[in-house]
Amino acid sequence: MENLLQQLLNGVTWGSIYALIALGYTMVYGVLRLINFAHGEVYMIGAMSGFYVARALGLGVEPSLLGLIGVLVASMAICGVLGATIERVAYRPLRGAGRLAPLITAIGVSLFLQNAGQLVFGADPKFFPPLLRASEVFRAGHVAITNIQLTVLVTALLLMGALEFIVQRTRFGRAMRAVAYDAPAAALMGVPVDRVISGTFVLGSVLAAAAGILVGLSNPKIDPLMGLMPGLKAFVAAVLGGIGSVPGAMVGGLLLGVIETLVTGYLSSTYRDAIAFVILVVILLYRPTGLFGAPQTEKV
Amino acid sequence: MRGVLRAAVLGLSLASAAIGCSGGSGGGDSIVVGHVASMTGDTATFGRSADQGMRMAIEEINAKGGVLGKKLDLVTEDDRSVTEEARTAAQKLLQRDRVIALLGEVASSRSLAAGPEAERAKVPMISPGSTNPKVTEGKEYVFRACFIDPFQGAVMARFAAQELHAKRLAILFDFKQDYSVGLAEFFRETVKKDGGEIVADERYTSGDIEFRAQLTTIRAANPDAIFVPGYYTELGLIAKQARELGITVPLLGGDGWDSEKTLEIGGSAVEGYYFSTHYAADSTDPRVQEFVKRFGEKYGGTPDAMAALGYDTARILADALTRAGSTEGPKLRDAIAATQNFEGVTGKITIDEHHNARKDAVVLKIEGGKFRFYRNVSAE
């Protein structure tokens, strides 16, 4: 029992990383009907920029919470700009060009960032500076939670809460929902569609950057190809929750993390990567709209 | 995906091919030797260290007039720590540079990938540090300068039983690496044979960063020690996460830990852990002391086991070349196979009928942020 609780805790922490990345997929899909396959690379750039910012500030020798917040904010800002740039350069020129062209462009951007990453950062793995010194904050029997796990969880939940607030309670959020619902009608009502789409990319990229920093904190090995697998997994998480649905991406991410951890802990890690794609196939076969997606009627 | 890199590599290959022609690699004034090495990627220190050791050996040999009246020349091809790339790297060295011998790889999976190329070309290959038995099995031209895993696995199993009095053991191995799979297997066998118990047997994949699920399962089994026969990158992360989960029993490993990166990644988390390897830099053997001193003067820092093995490997080749009196594959192969009591920095090397080196192992302990000699284990 204690073991199961510990595994659930491990799973939720791991899953919150997937959830943060999955949100970017789902929001972009919501407004553009585009699977932004370059999103995993934005997460990689997030971790990398965190690494360089920490080094430039001379952090990592002495753990500091303030330093962590600084690195987090800086990296989120960098990725926000990156996200807007990707949208402006790679996707906006293809607006109205059907759905296949932007999809292929997305794969191209992903490959470009992976290879540019190898050129700029080098192919060697880097090790994220220890911005927190690991210590237990809570223990009941054998179930222990460390400050690192707690930081990952709390930061992820705060960011998801902030996102929910932006989407539901602000003018920008309302505009975003309007564009997602019906872009041409929203444009006719005076919603600046291009700016909303750009803002959506910024939001998604900021969350991916946070995921990159949190992974650097709890699993401190980063390299230019690190975005590949988590990017695909987060995509599965978004589909699992119902692509286009913000709460769906959160729940899908957490659920995928828990499933992976339980499979690894109780069966074998051999199945860890396979399970995500089995879920993808099953969901697409039996419930293509995912857990939270509303059944869509085809517009004729 | 690797388009840009491919282009860069292609450019470099063309450039070096041009140099190769003008420099006269075939029948010129130098004997060209190839090194398949992981110069970048997850196990980059293996390739870099081995390369430094080899270059130092070759420099010394050339300073003394080279072999067969010619200078030795080392061409290194990076495989980025990727199994499939090791084969490509070997092909490039054999076809483009027409090397007379291949040195490398350190990782067993990559030596297994490169070996068949050496066989086909009938060019001898000497691996400095691949310890999986399969690397040389059934091969005519593949040799190694190190001991093999049935021995290394038994060393650590006996060490756990005798020195740590550990009866209940857990294993966490990398099932994508032949090295790790093999070492885990021989460790398991020896523990069972000696009456110990394997209470948890978990696995991971090279490149993984999250090990908390496996470690939680291992923790629940309450072992006396945990055997992690993987490479240093994952080991560092595993050690950190094990400490976070409150695991206090020692982790044990093999020569895959032998890299300064273990200390850099693991930090204080790897303190008090033990691993078996090929040599100890703090040994009192004058030969080792001399090697460590000269290595430090040339490159700075302390040479790890892969550097020492790289150094020995290049010298074994030079010795065999002199005895063979020729660079022809079959003759060179026979000369390498006949290596007897060669005095290396990693011990006295005799190549046996299975093309393996019979040598002692050492167990190192990680203490005060350093690898320290703990004890010697004889091959007998």
Q: Give contacts of B237 with chain A, Cβ < 8 Å.
A: 219-221
Distance CA A229, CA A114 (A): 12
Enumerate residues 6+ apart whose C-beta is below 8 A from A201: A28, A36, A83, A84, A86, A87
Residue in B with minimal Cα distance to A109: B1
CA distance A230 to chain B (A): 11
State the DSSP H helix or E strand holding residue B276, giving kind and residue range, or none if neither.
strand B274-277
Q: Are B123 and B329 in contact (CB under 8 A)?
A: yes
> Which of these, A104, A125, A99, lies nearest to A33 by C-alpha position?
A99
Contacts of A134 in chain B (CB under 8 A): 240, 243-244
Contact yes or no for A273/A229 (Cβ under 8 A):
yes
- Touching check for A115 and chain B: CB below 8 Å? yes
Give the residue from B212, B217, B268 with the most A CB atoms within 10 Å of its CB, the best one to mutate.
B212
Q: pLDDT tens-digit profile of B255-307?
A: 999 999 999 899 899 999 999 999 999 988 899 999 999 999 999 989 999 99
Q: What is the mean pLDDT of residues A106-133?
A: 92
pLDDT of res. B19 = 42
Q: Which residue type does B132 have?
A: N
Task: Find residue A7's DSSP bridge partners.
Answer: none
Tell me which DSSP letter residue B70 carries.
Answer: B
What was the pLDDT predicted at A73? 96
State the amino acid at position A200 in one-letter form.
Answer: T
Instruction: Please name the residue of chain A whose CA is at the shortest distance from the CA of residue B41.
Output: A124
Determine if the peptide bond prior to A298 is cis (ω within 30°). Answer: no
Task: Name the DSSP letter for residue B67.
Answer: B
Q: What is the dihedral of CA A148, A149, A150, A156, to 10 degrees?
A: 110
The pLDDT value given to residue A293: 76
User: DSSP 3-state assignment of B173?
Assistant: strand
- Give the rounded distance of the alpha carbon of B30 from its chain centre: 27
Measured CA distances, B6 to A30, A119, B10 (Å): 36, 12, 6
Asked if residues B180 and B229 have their Cβ atoms less than 8 Å apart, the reply is yes
Looking up tokens 């093309």, which residue turns up?
A: B355
Q: Which residues contact A274 (CB under 8 A, 6 or more apart)?
A: none
Could you tell me the residue ranges of all domains in chain B? 3-147+286-349, 149-277+362-377
Count of positions (residues) in chain A: 300
B142: pLDDT strictly greater than 70: yes
- 3-state secondary structure at position A244: coil
Cβ of A119 and B4 within 8 Å?
Answer: yes
CB A228: neighbour CB atoms within 10 A? 16
- Interchain pair B233, A114: CB under 8 A: no
- Enumerate residues 6+ apart whose C-beta is below 8 A from B217: A3, A265, A266, B200, B202
Tokens (6 digits) for B202:
């978990």
Top residue of B216, B219, B237, B260 to mutate, by most chain A CBs within 10 Å, is: B216
Closest by CA to A16, choosing from A167, A206, A154, is: A154
A280 part of a folded domain: no
CB contact under 8 A, B213 and A134: no
Q: Considering only the beta carbons, identify the residue of B41, B214, B240 that sits closest to A264.
A: B214
Cβ–Cβ below 8 Å for B217 and A265: yes
Domain total in chain A: 1
The answer, yes or no, to whether residue B12 has pLDDT greater than 70, is no
**Quick check: is A112 in a domain?**
yes
How many residues are given for chain B? 380
B150, B183 in Cβ contact below 8 A?
no
Is the residue at A172 inside a domain?
Answer: yes
The answer to whether residue A294 is domain-embedded is: no
Q: For A135, which residue in chain B has the nearest alpha carbon?
A: B244
Q: Is residue A151 within 8 angstroms of chain B, CB to CB?
A: no
Give yes or no for A56 touching B (CB within 8 A): no
Domain B149-277+362-377, CATH class in plain words: alpha beta
For residue B302, with 0-12 CB atoms within 10 Å meaning exposed, 13-18 middle and 19 or more buried, which class applies? middle
CA atoms of B271 and B287, how far apart (whole Å): 28
Q: Do B42 and A125 touch (CB under 8 A)?
A: yes
> What CA–CA distance (Å, rounded) separates A234 from B264?
30
pTM for the structure as a whole: 0.88
- pLDDT tens-digit series, residues A9-66: 999 999 999 999 999 999 999 888 899 999 999 999 999 999 999 999 887 777 788 8
Domain range for A54 is: 15-227
Q: Say how far apart CA B368 and CA B366 lie, in whole Å.
A: 7
Q: In angstroms, what separates the C-alpha of A134 from chain B's closest C-alpha?
A: 7
* B237·A221 Cβ contact <8 A: yes
Work out the minimum CA distance from B115 to partner chain A, whole angstroms.
25
Instruction: Classify B122 as helix, strand or coil.
Output: coil
Q: Which helix (H) or strand (E) holds B140?
A: none
Best residue of A264, A267, A268 to probe chain B, by most B CBs closer than 10 Å: A264
Q: Enumerate chain B positions whose Cβ falls within 8 A of a Cβ in A.
A: 1-5, 8, 40-42, 44, 80, 175, 202-205, 208-210, 212-214, 216-217, 219-220, 233, 236-237, 240-241, 243-246, 264-265, 267
Q: Which residues of B touch A122 (CB under 8 A)?
A: 40
Four-point Cα dihedral B185, B188, B191, B197, nearest 10: 180
- Six-digit token pair at B269? 């988390």
Smallest CA–CA separation between B218 and chain A, in Å? 9
Are A127 and B265 inside 8 Å of each other by CB? Answer: yes
Q: Does A7 touch chain B (CB under 8 A)?
A: yes
Chain A residues in contact with B172 by the CB 8 A cut-off are none
Contacts of B210 in chain A (CB under 8 A): 14, 219
With 60 as the cut, is the pLDDT of residue B2 above it? no
Contact B278, B359 (CB under 8 A): yes
pLDDT in tens, B14-51: 444 444 443 334 456 899 999 999 999 889 999 999 99
Tokens of residue A252, six digits? 């899908």
Contact yes or no for B214/B202 (Cβ under 8 A): yes
| Angle at CA of residue B213, ends B212 and B215, nearest 5° | 60
CA distances for B343 relative to A28, A58, B230, B249, angstroms: 65, 46, 29, 38
Assess if residue A114 is contained within a domain.
yes
The whole-angstrom separation of Cα B190 and Cα B227 is 13
Backbone region of residue B375 per phi and psi (left: phi > 0; alpha: psi in -120 to 50; beta: other values): beta
**What's residue B4's pLDDT?**
54
Token pair, residue B336, equals 């390498």
Residue type, position A29, single letter:
Y
Q: What is the DSSP string of B218-269?
A: HHHH--SEEE--S-HHHHHHHHHHHHHTT--SPEEE-GGG-SHHHHHHHGGG
Residue A86 covered by a domain:
yes
Beta strands in A123-234 (DSSP E): 126-127, 136-140, 143-146, 221-222
Pairwise CB contact (< 8 Å): B212 & A269:
no
What's residue B15's pLDDT? 46
Question: Closest approach of chain B CAs to the CA of A4, in angstroms?
Answer: 9
B214-B219-B220 Cα angle (round to 5): 100
Q: Do B214 and A265 touch (CB under 8 A)?
A: yes
Beta carbons of A221 and B216 less than 8 Å apart? no
- The answer to whether B3-147+286-349 and B149-277+362-377 have equal CATH topology is yes
Interface mutation vs chain B, best among A18, A113, A115, A121, most B CBs within 10 Å: A115
More confident residue, B12 or B93: B93
pLDDT tens-place string over residues A97-113: 888 999 999 999 999 99
The minimal CB distance from A134 to the residues B80, B220, B244 is found for: B244
Given this model, what pLDDT does residue A268 score?
87
Q: How far apart are CA B140 and CA B124, in angstroms?
A: 8
**Contacts of B6-15 spanning 24+ positions with Cβ under 8 A:** B8/A119, B13/B92, B13/B96
What is the predicted pLDDT for the residue at B1?
46
A125 SS3 class: coil
Chain segment A266-292, per-residue pLDDT in tens: 998 888 889 999 999 999 999 888 888
**Interchain pair A118, B5: CB under 8 A:** yes
Per CB-CB distance under 8 Å, the chain B contacts of A130 are: 267
Contacts with B, A 229-288, CB within 8 Å: 260-262, 264-266, 268-270, 272-273
Per-position b or e across A133-146, b if 16+ CB within 10 A of its CB: ebeeeeeeeebbbb
Q: Which pLDDT belongs to residue A294? A: 67
| Confidence at residue B153, expressed as pLDDT on a 0 to 100 scale | 93
Averaged pLDDT, B361-371: 93
Place of tokens 């292609």: B10
What H or E segment, with its residue span, contains residue B171?
A: strand B168-174
Asked if A296 has any chain B CB less than 8 Å from its own CB, the reply is no
Residue numbers in A near B208 (CB within 8 A): 269
Q: Which residue of A has its CA nearest to B81?
A: A124
* Cβ-defined contact of A221 to B175 (cutoff 8 Å): no
Name the helix (H) or strand (E) containing B2: none
* CATH level 3 topology of B3-147+286-349: Rossmann fold (3.40.50)
How many Cβ pairs closer than 8 A exist between chain A and B? Answer: 96
Tens digits of residue pLDDT in A199-252: 999 999 999 999 999 999 999 999 999 999 999 999 999 999 998 889 999 999
pLDDT at B3: 54
